Amino acid sequence: MSCHGFREKLFVSSGMDDAVKIWSWDGRAPFLESAGMAADVACQIETPLFTSTALHSDYVDCVHWYGDVLISKSVDNCLVMWRPAVDIATLAAGALAPQTAFVVLREFDIPNCGLWYIRFALSADLTVMACGNRVGGVHVWRLGDYVGGAASARMQLKVRVPVRIVQFDASGEHVLAGLENGTVHVFALVHSENDDSPVPEAAAASDSDKSEAGDKMDATL
């Protein structure tokens, strides 16, 4: 689930029904305010503004807004950048019948990622995206104009276990990767001399590099 970055009351959800759905709770604010923290009061919204099961053929385990564009992921070894066929502002106004048509803008290939529940992440400024895979790999993309090329870099950890989740720090210069074996690896992103493409660099951590909590940190070379 992901809330829109600047359109209030608009969010997107995905799940095990293979569907991606866009919702709004616009018009429900008075009810929410009057309900307060009452545990036995609920505001139920049953009809989304947009729904589609055609984007992915299996469970959709992660979705994020990228401006008015969306990026979602299933178990088909790629991330899909797309948008509803209608303008988001028009959709958010809620005057249309529920929409199902969409436009795919591009796909980001990520090999060895055909596994349920591997979560990707975007940096706070929406300029960089990262995703792990099931064999200890972390892929990083620079997100520029979505109709043009985007540079991709890859870091392979020595331990070949699923990278279940990644996250950026506030600066967007470090990627944290949470592995299925209970360790967390930290990568510092550097940029090549020719462009601004992020390149993760890391060195394998020894036992002495582990924190007291048992997490593992990878230092930049």
**Tens digits of per-residue pLDDT, 24-73?**
988 655 555 555 555 556 667 889 999 999 999 999 999 999 999 999 99
> Cα 56 vs. chain centroid, distance in angstroms?
15
Long-range contacts of the stretch 167-173 (C-beta < 8 A, 24+): 167/121, 168/121, 168/122, 168/123, 168/124, 168/128, 168/130, 170/124, 172/123, 172/124, 172/125, 172/127, 172/128
Q: Of all helices (H) and strands (E), which one includes residue 77? A: none
Percent of the chain residues topping a pLDDT of 90: 64
Distance from C-alpha of 178 to C-alpha of 156, rounded to nearest angstrom: 14
- Quickly state the pLDDT bin for 190 (edges 50, 70, 90): confident
pTM, rounded to two decimals: 0.82
CA-closest candidate to residue 141, choices 154, 128, 158: 128
Query: Average of pLDDT values for 91-101?
Result: 91
Q: Of all helices (H) and strands (E), which one includes residue 138? A: strand 137-142
Query: Average of pLDDT values for 205-209?
Result: 34
Distance from C-alpha of 66 to C-alpha of 125, rounded to nearest angstrom: 10
Contact yes or no for 124/169 (Cβ under 8 A)? no
Q: Which residues pair with 102 in a beta bridge?
A: 84
